[in-house]
């Protein structure tokens, strides 16, 4: 055999002997001793180990989601870029496939509403599939002038610059708000010097009243949904991102839209320049109204865009809707049901109108020395608020107390001009005939001090939100009807 290159390992055998115990090994988690410190003794009790737990870092996405307010699980667009402002959406969108792709069809299935304004699904909670549904589009770019939208930033920005140069608002201007000083709610931090301090356990952001001076012009423009159909459709699609119960997006021919527009003051051009273009108007909100409402609704939906909320602009739109109803001679109110956010705004507006009317009454008649009797109809006729809404607010304010039974107000009879002229010649009814018209009813007493406390606690502004003199002369005022006999005489 040829010799092998492999070498057998050398094996050494050791006889087992008694060895001293190995030195005590300290754990890796224990701080090691210094070089001058004596070694620990085995007979002493070992020192307790100090272990600091280290948790794995959480993903940054989870922290950002916890900081954001809760949102609907079926949202398809995260944020909108409205001019030079970017803010978050609240509710799912109804934009077409050119924006959302195939997800737009699934979104439209769950958005149908019945006559009562409720979802046909019965208001069930979102399914697991909906909760796991991710946002389709991170940002949607919307033109602040015409509300046209795009997913691409470059094409959208070129369109926005063109619209801003036009400085065009569709429709016609029907109202100009008088310039002056007004109160707005401004978020106030707890560390701001001179501001209101936040109490312990009080969540959310506190708001303080601040008086501001109007520099530009606030106006309301009326847009016909039949003439400017594309504009109203784009406006409705944009509004759906912030309204839960809006169901009209494309069939806008039966509605009029009233835009709240802010026009900044004209800035004089700099020396050596000829840039004298008109300032760009900014649409900050709107409300819509049916052209023919069988329920006498003076408002279908209302929205102030999120960047301009909490500035009293919603009350301005509400006041304008009631002033238009007064000019038309139609007593009505907003379309029911009202959203939760809309209820808060309307309760504040109604309570301010009713409180101003109550505090302006003279409860004592200086001539007769008796109390002045008023009823809900008087309140409704003075404020043009529906009697049902007046009763709702009076109960909510808690400013009335039971006053027992007593004679009510005599019913006012509606008479024609001829009948009124004939009655002027006759003597007014006296004696038993006049007593028969007065009925004994349950009465309540209004406490003026309670009204003032309610106004002070809720920080309600008693100034009129809408100036009746700011409307265009003759707007929404119907011409008096002329009889056929009078036309023949003329």
Residues taking part in catalysis: 335
Neighbours of 146 (CB within 10 A): 21
Query: Distance between CA atoms of 106 and 94, rounded to whole angstroms?
Result: 10
Query: Distance between CA atoms of 118 and 116, rounded to whole angstroms?
Result: 6
Distances, alpha carbon 210 to alpha carbons 183, 199, 453, in Å: 5, 20, 21
Are the beta carbons of 394 and 353 closer than 8 angstroms?
A: no
Give, rounded to a whole angstrom, the gap between the first and last alpha carbons of the chain.
147
Are the beta carbons of 144 and 160 closer than 8 angstroms?
A: yes
Query: Distance between CA atoms of 376 and 391, rounded to whole angstroms?
Result: 7
Query: Distance between CA atoms of 393 and 403, rounded to whole angstroms?
Result: 19
In Å, how far from its chain's centre is CA 178?
24
Handedness of CA 31, 36, 39, 45 (dihedral sign): negative
Query: Distance between CA atoms of 90 and 108, rounded to whole angstroms?
Result: 16
Q: What is the DSSP string of 115-155?
A: TTS-BTT-SPPP-HHHHTPPPSEEEEEE-TTT--EES-HHH
Angle between helices 340-359 and 313-328 (to 10 degrees): 70
Encoded tokens for 320? 């304008």
Give the neighbor-by-neighbor strand order of the sheet with 77-82: 85-88, 77-82, 137-142, 149-150
Are the beta carbons of 441 and 406 closer than 8 angstroms?
A: yes
Are the beta carbons of 378 and 463 closer than 8 angstroms?
A: no
Are the beta carbons of 149 and 95 closer than 8 angstroms?
A: yes
Rounded to the nearest 5 degrees, what angle is found at the Cα of 395, between the Cα atoms of 393 and 401?
Answer: 135
Are the beta carbons of 177 and 467 closer than 8 angstroms?
A: yes
Query: Distance between CA atoms of 138 and 392, rounded to whole angstroms?
Result: 42
Closest by Cα among 346, 454, 461, 462 to 399: 454
Handedness of CA 420, 422, 427, 430 (dihedral sign): negative
Q: Which DSSP state fits 469?
A: G
């Amino acid at each position: 055999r040829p010799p092998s290159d492999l070498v057998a390992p050398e094996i050494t055998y050791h006889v087992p002997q008694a060895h001293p115990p190995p030195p005590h090994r300290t754990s890796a988690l224990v701080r090691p001793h210094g070089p001058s410190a004596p070694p620990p003794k085995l007979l002493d009790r070992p020192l307790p180990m100090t272990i600091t737990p280290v948790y794995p870092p959480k993903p940054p996405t989870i922290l950002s989601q916890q900081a954001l307010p809760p949102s609907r699980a079926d949202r398809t667009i995260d944020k909108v870029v409205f001019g030079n402002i970017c803010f978050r959406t609240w509710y799912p969108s109804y934009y077409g496939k050119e924006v959302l792709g195939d997800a737009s069809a699934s979104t439209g299935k769950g958005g149908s509403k019945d006559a009562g304004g409720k979802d046909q699904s019965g208001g069930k909670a979102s399914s697991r599939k909906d909760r796991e549904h991710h946002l389709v589009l991170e940002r949607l770019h919307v033109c602040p002038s015409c509300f046209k939208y795009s997913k691409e930033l470059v094409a959208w920005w070129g369109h926005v610059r063109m619209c801003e140069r036009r400085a065009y608002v569709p429709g016609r201007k029907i109202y100009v708000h008088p310039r002056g000083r007004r109160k707005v709610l401004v978020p106030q931090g707890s560390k701001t010097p001179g501001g209101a301090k936040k109490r312990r356990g009080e969540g959310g952001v506190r708001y303080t009243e601040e008086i501001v001076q109007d520099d530009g012009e606030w106006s309301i423009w009326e847009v016909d949904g039949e003439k400017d159909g594309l504009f109203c459709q784009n406006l409705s699609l944009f509004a759906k991102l912030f309204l839960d119960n809006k169901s009209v997006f494309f069939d806008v021919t039966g509605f009029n839209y009233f835009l709240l527009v802010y026009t900044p003051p004209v800035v004089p051009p700099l020396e050596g320049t000829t840039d004298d273009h008109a300032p760009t108007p900014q649409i900050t909100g709107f409300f819509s109204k049916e052209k023919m409402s069988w329920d006498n609704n003076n408002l279908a939906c209302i929205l102030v865009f999120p960047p301009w909320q909490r500035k009293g602009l919603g009350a301005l739109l509400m006041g304008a809707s009631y002033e238009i109803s007064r000019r038309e001679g139609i007593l009505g109110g907003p379309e029911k049901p009202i959203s939760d956010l809309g209820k808060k705004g309307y309760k504040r507006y109604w309570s301010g109108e009713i409180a101003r009317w109550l505090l302006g009454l003279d409860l004592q008649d200086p001539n007769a020395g008796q109390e002045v009797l008023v009823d809900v109809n008087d309140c409704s006729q003075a404020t043009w608020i529906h009697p049902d809404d007046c009763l709702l607010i009076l109960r909510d304010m808690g400013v009335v107390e039971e006053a027992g039974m007593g004679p009510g107000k005599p019913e006012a009879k509606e008479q024609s001009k001829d009948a009124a002229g004939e009655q002027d010649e006759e003597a007014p009814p006296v004696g038993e005939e006049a007593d028969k018209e007065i009925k004994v009813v349950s009465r309540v007493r209004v406490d003026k001090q309670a009204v003032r406390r309610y106004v002070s606690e809720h920080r309600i502004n008693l100034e009129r939100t809408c100036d009746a003199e700011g409307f265009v002369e003759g707007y929404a005022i119907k011409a008096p009807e002329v009889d056929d006999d009078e036309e023949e005489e003329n």
